[in-house]
């Protein structure tokens, strides 16, 4: 059974679509992080950056836990997060599973699932959806 996975990711949210045979599962993971904004005053900048980086590391570890059993991975997203995820996958010896990385804007779960199906199956054919 081939396990194809598509993930749309930014720094706040990841939507992961697993496609196996004729079944599909969608998982959403939230980072729980606010937009990365630097404020004047308050904590020193290096402490803020350190906290932001630690939070991202935990978030990416959570996302990667959904990708470990994938045979092929499609990574989509609007900004830096998709490249950061690629780097994390490389550091965990999973980069050979990455098939494509594309820049795309926000998508609904249904749009993402359709794009993942089309990429891996060659068409937007219907599959049984289970959440």
State residue 55 phi and psi, 5-degree precision: -65, -45
**Higher-confidence residue: 11 or 128?**
11
- pLDDT for 42 equals 54
- pLDDT for 43 equals 55
- pLDDT for 124 equals 47
Domain boundaries, the chain: 3-130
Residue 6 β-bridge partners: 17, 74
- b/e sequence 90-113, b meaning 16+ C-beta within 10 Å: eeeebeebbbeeeeeeebeeeebb
Rounded to whole angstroms, the Cα distance separating 9 from 76 reads 6
CB 104 within 8 A of CB 96: no
pTM of the predicted model as reported, rounded to 2 decimal places: 0.80
Return the half-sphere exposure (C-beta side, CA atoms, 13 A cut-off) of residue 23.
Answer: 7
Per residue in 5-25, pLDDT tens?
999 999 989 999 999 877 889
- Other C-beta atoms closer than 10 Å to the C-beta of 65 total 12
Summarize the confidence of residues 2-7 as an average pLDDT.
93
Summarize the confidence of residues 33-40 as an average pLDDT.
56
Domain 3-130: CATH architecture, name and number where available: 2-Layer Sandwich (3.30)
């Amino acid at each position: 059974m081939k396990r194809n996975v598509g993930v749309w990711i930014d720094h706040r949210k990841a939507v992961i679509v697993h496609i196996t045979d004729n079944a599909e599962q969608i998982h959403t993971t939230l980072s729980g992080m606010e937009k990365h904004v630097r404020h004047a005053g308050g904590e020193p900048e290096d402490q803020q950056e350190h906290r932001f980086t630690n939070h991202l590391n935990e978030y990416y570890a959570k996302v990667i836990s959904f990708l470990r059993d994938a045979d092929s991975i499609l990574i989509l997203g609007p900004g830096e997060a998709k490249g950061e995820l690629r780097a994390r996958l490389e550091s965990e010896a999973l980069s050979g599973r990455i098939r494509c990385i594309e820049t795309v804007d926000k998508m609904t779960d249904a749009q993402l699932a359709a794009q993942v199906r089309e990429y891996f199956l060659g068409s937007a054919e219907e599959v049984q959806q289970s959440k």
